[in-house]
Copies of this chain bind each other. A is one copy, B any other.
Amino acid sequence: MFLKARPLEIEALKPIVILNREDADELDVRPLDRVELMVNNKKLIAIVNVAEVFVLEGEIGLSETVHEKLGVKMGEKIKVKPSEPPESLIFIKNKLSGNVLKSKEIEKIVIDVVGQRLSDIEITAFVTGLYIHGMAMNEVAALSRAMAETGKNLKFKTKEIFDKHSIGGIPGDKTSMILVPVIAAAGLTIPKTSSRAITAPAGTADRMECLCPVDLTLEEIKRVVRKTNGCLVWGGAVELAPADDMLIQIEYPLSIDPLLLPSVMSKKKAVNAKYVVIDIPTGRGVKIKTPQEAEDLAIEFIELGKKLKINVNCISTFADQPIGYGIGPALEAREVLNTIENGKGPKDLIDKVSCLSSVLFDFKKIKNPKDKISHILKSGKADRKLRDIIAAQGGNPKIKPEDIPVADKVVKIKSNKSGRVLWINNHFITRMARVVGAPKDKGAGILLHRKLADKVKKGDILFEIYAEKNYKLRKALEIFEEKNVFGVGKKYSIVLAEIPEEEERKKYFILER
């Protein structure tokens, strides 16, 4: 059948066409079936949508992608015929039936996800199938490999690439920004790619962006790493594992995350990492609640590492409160500069840097790792290295903490009783930081004044809220008033909570990479 091209304002990555109901019936295709389009010696498979009114009989509505790929003009005739769904759909259905997929089959699914050949409904079925049935370790390995192979690849001359990853969930976790300079200052190569926040107040890329550009090209990253041994860049700019971003778009609305392992490890594979330390924050407010769960996950990471020829070690870290005091890109970047200057700063932050760095040193059997790390920090070597990286990435190496702008609307939250800080709720801290604008408003966020077990007198400041707009500040205050964000008291009560019959109960979902 020949139909007249009609470019539409549809900005979709998938190749979507819209047929009039009559033409769809004539072709015997239904919504989400495929058609093959042929014009000017070009061929393209597209996914069918059906309209009653907007596309007339004899026309074919083209999304931007299809329009560009075919290079047709309005009214030009396109030959249209039904086409079969990709073979990978059969493999997805096999997964739904509980089968273990072969590596080749998983590879085909990932290729079709990246190639935009599967509809959202089909990808959702796949993600849901993985969530319900789980994956065998061979499937996880195949998925990790396929996700890395369908993206770009970072190759360096040295084969000894070090890397660090946190599975996330704690607000204020700025560890990478200090760890990377420490490792690089020790002469090891650590090309750190990071994500932007999805559900958190800041990702490492958001924090680092307060100091210098992070959206570097592959070539620029290589240059920075050649010069400094390290980098702190946004992975999203270089498409290391584009399948991951596409799958996250399905996982996010469903608040499910069956792809944690392949998501993390595909990116380590794509930078050709040889030694990786994985931080597993463990506590009530994060993904992994107990040390046992952390150990189970660690064993999976290590096993997966073996299959991918990556040496992996994991550390389960205390996650019942934010790391350091600043939460939000600018407040965190300030804290990093203050801490790295001479290694003096929040104890939990420095401890975390030290423990995770020493795991990387252990891979190389470096003796007395903690002493060396302490020396690198205190001597100012780490500070100089961070500034070298900032300069190499195109930022100002002389930047001072106070050069980083923070928001000018500030509210101080004071304690209404004396005692100690008994608990800090990560979820509500995160929500407050999000509603005041983090990570988009870089200067917005929360600055803690007290942390767990700290003594508090009535009237002491517990934390400050920073916002660019008053209405955002008000939203954060509403959360503070409604929820139990900070617990101050003399001692823990035997009653954990009274659970009323009808209150709305909600789980917060953390999706970070």
Contacts and interface: CB of A to CB of B under 8 A. Distances in A.
Given A32-B252, A252-B30, A255-B93, A54 B11 contact: yes
Given A11-B54, A53-B11, A128 B254 contact: no
A120 B49 CA distance: 13
Interface string A248-285: 01101111100000000000000000000000000000
Interface residues of A, number: 43
A428 to B, nearest CB: 15
Contact of A25 (B11, B250, B440): B440
A122 interface: yes
A165 interface: no
A8 B10 CA distance: 10
Given A52-B11, A54-B9, A249 B128 contact: no
B26 A440 contact: yes
A10 B54 CA distance: 8
A128 B119 contact: no
Contacts of A254: 89, 93, 96, 121-122, 125
Contacts of A89: 254
Interface string A7-41: 01111000000000000011010111100000000
Interface stretch (A100-108, A129-137, A287-295, A482-490): A129-137
Nearest to A97: B132
Most buried by B among A26, A28, A53, A64: A28
6 contacts: A11-B53, A30-B198, A85-B253, A93-B254, A120-B124, A122-B254
Interface of A: 8-11, 25-26, 28, 30-33, 51-54, 64, 85, 89, 93, 96, 98, 119-122, 124-125, 128-129, 131-133, 198, 249-250, 252-256, 434-435, 440
Among all A-B residue pairs, the 3 with the closest Cβ atoms: A32-B253, A124-B124, A128-B128
